[in-house]
Amino acid sequence: MPFSQPTVIRSRRVVLPDGERPADVLIRDGKIAGTAPHGSLTAGEGDLADLGDTALMPGLVDTHVHVNEPGRTEWEGFATATRAAAAGGVTTIVDMPLNSVPPTTTVDGLAVKRRAAERQAWVDLGFWGGAVPGNVADLEPLYRQGVFGFKSFLAPSGVDEFPHVEAAGLEAALAEQARIGALAIIHAEDPSVLAAAPQQPGVHYRDFLASRPAGAEAAAVTRLLDTARRTGARVHVLHVSSAAVLPLLRQAREDGVRVTAETCPHYLTLAAEQVPDGGTAFKCCPPIRDESNRDGLWEALANGEFTAVVSDHSPSTPDLKLLPEYGGSGDFAAAWGGIASLQLGLPAVWTEARRRGHVLADVVRWMSSGPAGLVGLTGTKGAIAAGHDADLVAFDPDDGFAVRASGLHHRNPVTPYAGRTLTGVVRTTWLRGREVDLAARPFGRQLVRPHSRPATPSDRV
Ligand SMILES: [Zn+2]
């Protein structure tokens, strides 16, 4: 393993903050010490990793991952989720506050999660808190403990222990988050629009799509923006699937509302027209919509309207997905809603981005520096620049592979990408300068929000 801890990584395609060029990257004590012209640095044998034409990029920062441990560890756990992350070039994840039991809605709940994650993380790991009905008093203590912000649902979340907020609850949560300076991250679908939509069970995707109309997203975002305007809270719209919300976000920004948004690889690369009958691996909420909607998302992405492209990795056991290939009914209405493909986000997005004329620097902005900035990790994560952690990925943008579930590291390797050919192969992932070797031991660290004052040290593994 000669390159397990190189001091110089050389590539003819280094993706730097100002674009891609040939360069040498100098690493010292797990951090990027600087960059220099290609071939100009000297290093001892075994200390130089020359990638040739394979690109060197900052590791991805995935701020939307549902790990589910403890409590639903059979769905997904810290070890398997972070192995999948590392294999996919993701070097930092931020875990969502729900689907684990307990959810991360109290300081005690956070402590339980942190203990569960100890010595299991193959990549660096931070935590979101949750804002649910009745826990306004818990938000400030949680924030001091280092959560990166608070997630709320405007419609039922799918799990009973994480209820959604009604109008008054949203108002209270956003007012408190404005006061403490936290970022509110919101699942925006409107429950009354959902309740009025036709609910037709069965294996046909078009029926499921009709049950989660674009109007539910637009109505919820409208309500969210009104509340953000009144309270002054900083809000982030999670997993935008409908292009119909984009004009609302644009108008609100023009009005001075502090709002950002993200979308996900599956909304950018899959489309309703491709979902087979019973293809519940494709089920997520909000849903994957049609091809023309997808073009609208790409247009917004190209215009810089999305801060981040993140996975929303949300697995369950195959039986809950009701997958026909596992003997399930394939009923979209009853299946668990969640896409599980953390490991595939980079090649999936790159495949489609390249086809649409984008370059690797765009992907880095969407999947590394953008999400790092969202959670205040600019300066530490998400860029190849002096002083940043040497979280790096060697990515061959010209090679390709066929997706097989057996090659995936997440606990229940179900994926809607099965059988697709994707462009771009992750060769090596380095975390703080050290190669992540899935046959050795994990050395990921638990992160806290910068400037927080946690009782636990930030480098507890
Ligand atoms: Zn999610």
Q: Is a pLDDT exceeding 90 seen at residue 451?
A: no
Distance 313 CA to ligand 1 centre (A): 7
Please report the DSSP string for 357-413 in residue order.
T--HHHHHIIIIIHHHHHTT-TTTSSS-STTSB--EEEEEEEEEEE--GGG--SSS-
Going from the Cα of 446 to the center of ligand 1, the distance in angstroms, rounded, reads 20
Q: What is the pLDDT of residues 183-236, one digit of tens each?
A: 999 999 999 999 999 999 999 999 999 999 999 999 999 999 999 999 999 999
Q: Which of 166, 92, 93, 94 is nearest to 131 (CA)?
A: 166
Q: What mean pLDDT do residues 36-51 have?
A: 91
Q: At what angle do helices 167-180 and 214-231 cross, to 10 degrees?
A: 50
- Residue 348 Cα to ligand 1 midpoint, Å, equals 18
- What's the token pair of residue 396? 């061959």
Neighbouring C-beta atoms of residue 459, cutoff 10 Å: 9
With residue 251 as reference, give the H or E element that holds it: helix 246-254
- Render pLDDT for 355-393 as a digit per residue (tens, 0 to 9): 999 999 999 999 999 999 999 999 999 999 999 999 999
Residue 433 has pLDDT above 70, yes or no: yes
Judge whether residue 461 has pLDDT over 50: no
- The angle at the Cα of 151, spanning 69 to 314, to the nearest 5 degrees, equals 45
Average pLDDT over residues 91-118: 97
Which tens digits make up the pLDDT trace of 310-338?
999 999 999 999 999 889 999 999 999 99
Burial of 6 (0-12, 13-18, 19+ CB in 10 A): buried
How far lies 438's CA from each of 87, 313, 406, 419, in Å? 8, 20, 16, 24
- Compute the Cα dihedral for 175, 180, 183, 185 and give only its sign: negative
Would you call 203 helix, strand, or coil by DSSP? coil
Measured distance CA(318)–CA(256) in Å, rounded? 44
Q: How many CB atoms within 10 Å of residue 327? A: 9
Rounded distance from Cα 159 to ligand 1 centre (Å) = 12
Q: 122-140, pLDDT tens digit by residue?
A: 999 999 999 999 999 999 9
The model's confidence at residue 457, banded by pLDDT at 50, 70 and 90, is very low
The neighbourhood of ligand 1, an ion, using CB within 5 A, equals 312
Distance CA 451, CA 143 (A): 10
| pLDDT on residue 325 | 87
Contact, 55 vs 360, CB < 8 A? Answer: yes
Parallel/antiparallel/unpaired status of strands 90-95 and 55-58: unpaired
* 276 Cα–ligand 1 center, Å: 23
**How many whole angstroms from 333 Cα to the centroid of ligand 1?**
18
**Would the CA dihedral through 334, 340, 346, 350 be positive or negative?**
negative
* pLDDT for the residue numbered 452: 76
Give exposure, 166-181, as e/b (b: 16+ Cβ within 10 Å). eeebbbbbbebbbeee
Q: Where are the alpha helices (DSSP H) in 120-164?
A: 136-144
Ligand 1 center from residue 206 Cα (angstroms): 22
Q: Would you tell me how many other CB atoms lie within 10 Å of the CB of residue 37?
A: 10
pLDDT of residue 73: 95
Q: Is 71 in a helix, a strand, or coil?
A: coil
Both tokens of 416, joined, read 């809607």
Higher local confidence (pLDDT), 3 or 129: 129
> Per residue in 269-282, pLDDT tens?
999 999 999 999 99
Contacts of 219 (CB under 8 A, 6+ apart): 190, 192, 193
- Displacement of CA 13 from its chain's centroid (Å): 25
Q: Residue 104 Cα, ligand 1 centroid: separation in angstroms?
A: 14
pLDDT in the model for residue 453: 62
Distance 50 CA to ligand 1 centre (A): 38
Instruction: Assign 211 to helix, strand or coil.
Output: helix
Interstrand relation of 234-237 and 183-187 (parallel, antiparallel or unpaired): parallel
Look-up of token digits 């981040």: 308
